[in-house]
Amino acid sequence: MNVRHTKRKRTRRHDFFDARHIFKVHGSKDWGEYHIQEVHLSERFKFDESGYYHCCALIPYLRTCKRNNFHPLDSYIQNRIMW
pLDDT at residue 55 in the model: 87
The answer to whether position 21 is within a domain reads: no
The string of pLDDT tens digits covering residues 4-25 is 555 555 555 666 788 899 989 9
With vertex at residue 76, the alpha carbon angle to CA 75 and CA 81, rounded to the nearest 5 degrees, is 115
The string of pLDDT tens digits covering residues 19-78 is 899 989 998 888 888 778 888 888 888 888 988 888 888 888 765 544 555 555 555 555
The answer to whether position 53 is within a domain reads: yes
The answer to whether position 56 is within a domain reads: yes
Instruction: Specify the pTM.
Output: 0.36
Q: Give residue 53's domain range.
A: 36-80
pLDDT at residue 37 in the model: 82
**Number of domains composing the chain:** 1
Contacts of 44 (CB under 8 A, 6+ apart): none
pLDDT at 83 over 50: no
